[in-house]
Structure 1
């Protein structure tokens, strides 16, 4: 009803998946590149995770359109199935006929024969499972057994698992360790930044027939504040704000209209308590906030003030231990306020004595500050071995939240959540940690942008020295990029879940820089060797 008023030919913010409105942010493009690379390898499993509404299905549909014509695909949207039901659904998707009441063996044999015939005909077979966090462990194991069918060079069935962050938790189970080892590429899709939201909103308006901006900068900031960068929520907020603007007969849409829309859409009043951190002054704000207190949380029935210590140049004074219920409320409140990853990034930069730049991503800020940033999948021991503070991805019930792992002392970890720091037990942390972390490091003067087989000798030697340090071996004197160096590089990239493409690109260089740098804050006090 408001389309004519705003000069629109269509509803630009419908939550229905319309290919005409496809918008790929830098993060979506990166996710797509990881999936495409994973499928281009020898097979196995490819993993895409992200919070609800971040655009995982958008990426998967875009991937489908890019698959070669000689590819048969099976898209499974409801994975809450038994092993038998899953195999029957796979047969249905691939057009494999089977009799009434088939057994597990009969379906497996039919699928295996189909895969062999497809391979002999020069065709590929890809299976995509959405909402894969609902898969049972025994069903995932059945999928792994299906991928056992292979030639000398490739798997005959490639599987893409798409799901929410708890899928990463599921794949860490002991009985699924063989499947986890077969994941050739994985990517965790993050929400949109404020800058990306502005581009996203304008893109959808343009597709719907309006080239002039309709949301002012204040409205964009409010969209980022209340949506958390989730595209689906952005659409809901924009739709409601358009209706409000139409009812009031006014443009442009401002932050007050978005705030009112958030109250209606999110079902609760929104106020100052939900405002994001101002990145430009994040370091100063963070220091003042930390000084308010550091709490010791064991995750059970004990909470006490941490001993006085210096944290980011702010002295933390001891406090009177509160009661257990107060402790629980403090932690619950801190978790609820830690759903903005930009806040966590601000905390990490502050530990380095820096503040991120306004309007760019954290990694772009790091680059401008002469640093590198790297997102990794790994266990807590692997993170501790790097000995850097890190933004960590955590889960409480159905809620994803972000913190900064600041320090480790014995079996206790200092975790920063929004404006407070808590000493938590290692077991509490591992119960909530979903296996993704992001770290910063200072570049050394000789850090190259990338190292390829045709690189000069100085860069090749840097790569060999860096790999040797990371792999705890003695470096060799290099004369060219030889096969042994290529093998060491492949082992390093595989171990760190990086693209294995025969060269050390920016993401590999960033992780290697973590081993080379001797500067910056440490999780455990001591020399970083």
Structure 2
């Protein structure tokens, strides 16, 4: 009813997936590139995750538009199925006929025959599963068995799994490790930043017929604050704000209208001025730990006083870099290399570590420790990355190993698993040679590389502070100043003299490709968003580091 008032031809902020309003930010393009790269290799599984409303379906629709014509595609939107139901749905999507009450073997044979015929005729087969976090483990195993059909060079069935972050946790289960090893490309889609959100809003307005700005800069900032950069929430807020502006006969839309829209849509309240709650929460945690610590010491045998003297101590503040003054326990040897007759002190240390692992199942607590190392704090009601953005920091998630983390040299939240595949989270605070100071909750332990490698699941997240605004990409057609910056940056990372360039030459391209391969990036010789972020992580001089004595490059 407000379209004529704003000069619009259509409703620009409908949450229906209208392809005319498709907006690809740098993050969406990067996700699309990862998925396309994964499908273009030898096949297997491709993984796309992201929070609700970040645009995973948008990326998948773009991917479908780019799939070659010689590809048969099956799209499953409701994955809450049994193994038999999944195979039957796959047959329905691929128009494979089967009789009444088929068995699992009959459906498997029909699908295998279809895949072999497709390969013989030069056709590919792709299965896309949305909301894949709802898949049962036995269904995922059935999918893995389907992908066993292969030639010497490729899988005959390629599977794209799209889901919320819980999907990452599901795939870390011990019984799914074979499937996890077959994932050829993975990408976690983060929300839009403030600049991308402004472009997103203006893009939708232009498609709907209005080319003049409609939201003030403060309104865009308020939109980003309340939506966290999630497109679907942004649409809801913009829709309600437009209705408010229409009711008040007011243009442009200001931040007050957006704040009111947030209250109506999200029940949102401004908590930024209440700084007490993080400290109250921290005090409660310290009190709980103190009572537990007192009970442990009170009931322990008094002959083990020497053991108690090396236990980690609680602090009375949000975890920060100064916590290493609390004399963390060194459990590296006692945990990894136990003597035949373990001493009472070693047994006590192991028990404390196991208890800390059991109590570290909250990733929010781990991020609280990471924020403390930056002298920042979490913000109630916001995710860790949203809280980081509010404090001029950026999140960066990566798959890797010990060397990946040590090379970046940043404190990191690490995803860990115990011997029963239970997930827990820790913060790497400091490094000394082949040992790291690992924070679990309010306690810190020195553990060695062997212990870490056995428990690390492969995912870690860091916070960092960008020194400047990054360009979208640097390639053959970029300006000479950007090309020279890229050469200088790679030279610093590789600890070699920088060359004076007159163009983006083949040597720079090879240096860039080598850097991309080293960090698990798409080796396309173009410095896109992920590559530029990775470079800036090395070059940034801001924030804490794991080791100040040496900077890994």
- Settle same-fold status: TM greater than 0.5: yes
- 2:77 is equivalent to residue 77 of structure 1: yes
What does residue 20 of structure 1 align with?
A: 20
Between the aligned partners of 1:204 and 1:184, the Cα distance in structure 2 is 34
Note the C-alpha offset of 1:339: 1.4
Within 5 A, what are the aligned runs for 1:262-277? 262-273=262-273
C-alpha contact (below 8 Å) 1:376/1:497 kept by paired residues: no
What does residue 212 of structure 1 align with?
A: 212
Between the aligned partners of 2:542 and 2:249, the Cα distance in structure 1 is 57
What does residue 331 of structure 2 align with?
A: none
What does residue 131 of structure 2 align with?
A: 131
Which among 292, 297, 314 is matched to residue 304 of structure 1? Answer: 314
What does residue 200 of structure 2 align with?
A: 200
Note the C-alpha offset of 1:435: 2.5
CA pair 240-74 structure 1, distance change in 2 beyond 3 A: same
Which among 339, 351, 354 is matched to residue 383 of structure 2? Answer: 339
Instruction: Tell me the alpha carbon deviations over residues 384-420 of structure 1, each in whole angstroms, 9 at most, x when there is no partner.
Output: 544622564989xxxxxx99865479886459xxxxx
Which among 492, 513, 521 is matched to residue 498 of structure 1? Answer: 521
Range 144-153 or range 332-341, more displaced: 332-341
Between the aligned partners of 1:442 and 1:248, the Cα distance in structure 2 is 40
CA pair 23-271 structure 1, distance change in 2 beyond 3 A: same
- 2:447 is equivalent to residue 437 of structure 1: no
C-alpha contact (below 8 Å) 1:185/1:497 kept by paired residues: no
Between the aligned partners of 2:120 and 2:266, the Cα distance in structure 1 is 53
Between the aligned partners of 1:233 and 1:426, the Cα distance in structure 2 is 43
C-alpha contact (below 8 Å) 2:127/2:160 kept by paired residues: yes
What does residue 141 of structure 2 align with?
A: 141
Between the aligned partners of 1:433 and 1:260, the Cα distance in structure 2 is 43
C-alpha contact (below 8 Å) 2:409/2:551 kept by paired residues: no
Between the aligned partners of 1:236 and 1:138, the Cα distance in structure 2 is 37
Between the aligned partners of 1:274 and 1:254, the Cα distance in structure 2 is 24
Unmatched runs of 5 consecutive residues or more in structure 1:
276-288, 319-327, 348-354, 357-361, 363-372, 396-401, 416-420, 444-448, 452-458, 468-479
Note the C-alpha offset of 1:114: 0.4
TM-score, normalization: structure 1?
A: 0.69
- 2:399 is equivalent to residue 377 of structure 1: yes
What does residue 121 of structure 1 align with?
A: 121
C-alpha contact (below 8 Å) 2:21/2:204 kept by paired residues: yes
> How many residues are paired up?
434
What does residue 101 of structure 1 align with?
A: 101
Between the aligned partners of 1:260 and 1:185, the Cα distance in structure 2 is 41
Instruction: Tell me the alpha carbon deviations over residues 98-141 of structure 1, each in whole angstroms, 9 at most, x when there is no partner.
Output: 11111111111100100011111111110000011111111111
Between the aligned partners of 1:75 and 1:220, the Cα distance in structure 2 is 35
CA pair 55-522 structure 1, distance change in 2 beyond 3 A: same
SS in structure 2 of the partner of residue 272 of structure 1: coil
Between the aligned partners of 1:120 and 1:188, the Cα distance in structure 2 is 35
What does residue 409 of structure 2 align with?
A: 388
Unmatched runs of 5 consecutive residues or more in structure 2:
294-312, 327-361, 369-376, 417-424, 468-473, 477-486, 496-505
C-alpha contact (below 8 Å) 2:315/2:323 kept by paired residues: no
C-alpha contact (below 8 Å) 1:262/1:270 kept by paired residues: no
CA pair 394-4 structure 1, distance change in 2 beyond 3 A: farther
